[in-house]
Structure 1
Amino acid sequence: MNKRLVGLAEQALFASTIFVLFLLLVNDRFVVPLWLQPLGRMHPLLLHFPIVILLLAMVMEAFRFRTATASNPGLAEFYRDFLSNLLLVGALSAGVTVIMGLFLAKEDGYSGQVLQWHKWSGVGIFFVASLVYWARKKTWYTARLAWAGALTTVLFLIGAGHYGATLTHGDNFLFQPISSQFKPTPVSFDKALVYADVIQPIFEQKCVSCHNPDKLKGQLNLSSVEAMLKGGKSGKLFVAGKPDVSLLLERIHLPLDEKKHMPPSGKSQLTPQEITLLALWVKENADVRKRVIDLPPTDSLRFMAAGLFKPAEPVDEFSFDAADEETVKGLNNDYRTVAPLAKELPALAVNLYNKATFTSEKIAELSPIKQQIVYLNLNKLPVKDTDLKRIGEFENLQKLDLNFTDVTGAGFADLIPLKQLQTLSLAGTGITYDALRKQLGAFKKLKTVAVWNTALTTAQVEQLQKANKGIHFIAGFDGTSSETIKLNPPQLKNGSTIFTQTVSLQLKHPIKGVQIRYTMDGTEPDSLNSPVFTGQTVLDQPTLVKAKAYKTGWFGSSVATFDFYKSNYKPDSVQLLLPLNPVHQADGAHTFFDGRLGTFNANSPAWANNWAGFRKNDMALVSEFKTPVRVSSVALRVMVEEETGIFPPGIVEVWGGDNRDQLKLLGTLKPDQPIKKATPVLKAVVCTIKPQTVSVLKIIAKPVNQLPEWHANKGKPGLLLVDEVFIN
């Protein structure tokens, strides 16, 4: 390498050293701009280059003094020059790699103890390699120092490589193939817990490598129940009972090439069966203590989970052979799961989903495994009477779920070949008394028939029970003779709770004959004094509506709360004067007037464009109107979640005037701040002003400068999240 090139490289090495020191000193205060983030993401691409060069260089450095006394002076000089250039290239490339790594570590999702070990071992490689390069030219540099420098660099290389592998592949990556051979004895079905033995193993296999105390990607830790329930930076992991709006399922169902898809592209992906298990668990309120055996006998989660455990007691001997593994694998897809009923048994449980894509062919496709199917779940699918003939071919079927399908009983005779049938669920169908009366006697092993929510009367069910003493009929709740249960809350029919002038309040309830009572003064509705909802209520002001459902023979529902927001004016142009928080960019200034309200999942895919965030900068929003408007209030809808440091603004200022250069302060507001252990809320903070006619409004909302002393992040700035602005 010529001297000029060496000189330039040495200057670059010195500059890299200074820059790395600077980045380490200001680590908590600098933000990587978007245009530099691709450079940081080149870190994994480049890091192997300095590793190989420095390993070779340090081995050569350790034997440098031996070659210096070699009998061939020309060879010794070549060795010395080649090694010097190799060390220079290795140290410089290590510096560039460290800079890229420091940039990458500033992105969301990188935190934890492992990251710190990886960072400092990488920095150690760079500094030691640089020190060796500069020191080796000094007269005091000895063979012992050469050995020490080489050994230290190699140790740092091993450490950085180990922690880097842990970051990308998870803990115990090196010895996982060996340790996997020593798995604990699986629990029996009767002792298995839904979360600990069904759900947590999925997290362990597919999620914990990135979401653990040492690598808190997205501030989410899935290694324990307590941490899992806490959620992460994007909010709670799930909404109990609502898989369709849960962050966990939203991220899983994103396209594989989507940045927020989980697990990330390149990682081991969830199987259709695992996805279904997670969805069913969330749907059943995500209980972390319930046993699998405590789930109802016809429960889909129970049947799917049962295949993961050894039987609690001896099970039926099956005379048929197991189905071909490749055939079973090929039948698993986005609308169907096929899984063993229990380990080492040939019997299979089949669940079909997605009403929109269902056709009769989906049942016909199961013909290759018709002998092995013992459980078939077609719940809520448009199954017709003509489809029963196909189902009748599954000769070993023991449990059949036809709840809320379109069967009427016209093809009921086609099920007679099912000689092993023990459980038949027909709830919510058009099944008739005559169809059951004529055919039930043909099913000799039938033990349970579910007919709740059908047209069968109590008297007809009693007649069927009398004629079929070996069968238990599940007729459900009739509201009078059954045990009293609680109504679910009323629901809102309005497409949006934001209105301009007036809006008609629209409430509904899925159960017929329910009376809905409501209030608009903040008090809780009761069954005597609160007004009955008749569909005639019109709102003309921002209103908090509370509603409860009542019906004779039932307990009243919980209170349902609905916030209605009035927004008279939408600006003709809007502009943010200061940058948004990098994590919560939303749709920029247009976010505040798009009519879409956010939820507590501030980063979930379904609501990703709804929250604009401010931490280091104030919210400074300028709104302009082509035609002057008369303004008396400005409201900001904000999230308040004390635990995660999301606070309302410390102060709100409203400025107005005829143009940008002649604005005056119209009003200020200091919203109430949360106290310790405050309940998270989504609310509007309203700044009322003396009515003014303006063409320009400037709204300033300042994030809380320092979180209070009692907060876990005391002294740090709070995060302000705003999703909508209402001008009236």
Structure 2
Amino acid sequence: MPTKNTLRNLLENCLFVWVGLSLILTLAPAQYQFPEIIQVTGRAHPLILHFPIVLLLLGLIFFFLPALQKNPEVKEIGEFTFLFGSNLAGITVIAGLILAREEYEGDALLLHQWAGLGVFLLSVLLYFFRAKKASIKTTLSLILAAGIVLTGHWGANLTHGDDFLLAPLKSEVQDLPTLAEAEVFRDMVNPILEAKCLSCHKEGKIKGELRLDHVEGIQKGGKTGPLFVAGDPEKSILFERIHLPVDDKKHMPPKNKAQLSDEEMMVLQEWIAQGGKFDQKVEDSNPESELFQLASLKFEKNKSYDFEAADQETIQELNNFYRLVTPLYPESPALLVSYYGIAAFDPESLKDLKDVKEQVVEINLNKMPLKEVDLEFLKDFPHLEKLSLNFTDIETKHLQAISEIPNLQDLAVSGNAFGEKDFQALENMTGLRKLFLWQKGISDSQKDQLSKSLETTEIDFGFDGSGITYELNPPSIKQDKVFFSDSLKIEITHPIPSTEIRYTLDGSEPDSLNSLIYTNPVWVNSSGKLRAKVFAEDWKGSNSSVTVYMKAGLSPEEYKLLTDPNEKYKAQGARTVFDKVKGKNNHTSGEWLGYSEKPFDIELKHDKSHKIKSLGLSLLYNESAYIFPPTRVQILALENGKWITLVDDHPKPSEKIEEIRSELLLYPIEDSNFEKIRVTVNPITSLPSWHAGAGARGWVFIDELLIN
């Protein structure tokens, strides 16, 4: 059995071994790779590092307190404790240097690495100089204690993220942006990456040569290629890795880390599907998309205002056939003022607005004749943020008056004939956030000068129309929900105020001549489909934006499925189509009935006191997942013991792969009493030749049957 002196000698000699190995590993070429068994030793670094910390700090107590040195037994315990701690510190440094070869790099690593090596060397120095004066030992002990704390701090930053130790003290409640201000990557995607991915893919630890702590690293990807394929989640490595089984070694995040929630995976998927852009506004997303729906729950839809609301009687008195004063959104004290009808416009009526000058935040005077109107009164509107004066014949005097509005942020003055003095007046409006200036004949030099003067303003000059016809972007459609019980408000917006928005409520394509012109929010009280397009002179009309809205229908007295759905997509059975819950745009969400081998076939009995006027089918279309429009929809009714055909429809087939979308097939029903109704929806039996799965059976997915 070894004596104490033999053990002490062994441990003291080991210190020199650890010093030598540490220096060899520190100076070894960066590209040198260790055998697997040595890598296992390196990965033990987090396991063993706590032992030397405790032993060294415990040993420092004996060196720091000279009174303990007077007792020989206590002194010997202290020295042995420190000697053991120093040996373990050397082993920990060696393991850490080996571990550092595994995809760790950067300033954070260098700080931790050299601090750890310094702590070890200083502990060796302090041990062999333990017999020196107390003042020297005390100084070295303080330096060593500080080094241990700093090394641990930088190691925690390397593992858990920058400033891990002090983050709780510095954390502040961050104000979420409004829905209008929110960006998809900045406010929805990046927080997920920071919470679930950054610990392995950041400066200091770049696993798989992939960095996710800045945009350039995300765009570059890792050693296996790009992180994602814009517009195609299923071909993206990110999508593939997060959907692998948790036990798969390539699954991300690793199974010992916090996993992505279904909502987080959906956000990443939708972001990639929408192009993986880093500057996309949430508002630019399809209102029907899961991404937009989640964002609408996360972010405030509207800006809040803290001033008092105007008197309701005053607002009612201001409203007439040519002027509309309404809250910016329900329950908001902020007011929107809009004028309509050139012939009915009375300039004197503008003075009436002084009664609500504290509450007005937006005024729309588009196409009103303002050439002889004095706009000086607007400077007394302290909260006016948005002013639309397109095609109003305004001049320099008007622009000078507008420049005195204290909090004006958005100004639209397209379609006005401006000269040099007018542009000089615009150059003084440095507080603007957005300026819409679609004017013909603006020279490039004028545009450059205005852009330099208004560096922080987003200026939309439109285009010069020189023989090229551009297509407008589609409008954005906003609605609070898909299902409603009484009525539903639908809003349509476009970033270019001077455009004309036209829409239809029967699902047909809007045109620039006959379709309804959008001026105010549309209120609907029955199920349907709204399509909207944008038109402007010298521009090609936009593509359609589409939304469906469903009025919660009658619940039948009895119902039963005559055919069972596929076992994987059976949701809640027949109850699914009457639960008034709109399924997500994801056929695997558990809210859809899926049919492929058999048609959807249901029979129902309703209360005869309610006469049926329409019947709607809420369907999911996703051609890339073999989910196509049905080939046939039949609605039969049992009347006087005999089945009669009410509907026999063959919906328009798909001609190409389109984005995932909800669809509503709405059929009017004669106002009559029926004993029973039977609905049959047939899936496509053979996919078309243009599809990658040509010849295979397709699917029909249904989530609601609307009876109104």
Q: Could you state the TM-score of these two structures normalised by the residue count of structure 2?
A: 0.48
Give 1 or 2 for the bigger CA radius of gyration: 2
Q: Could you state the TM-score of these two structures normalised by the residue count of structure 1?
A: 0.47
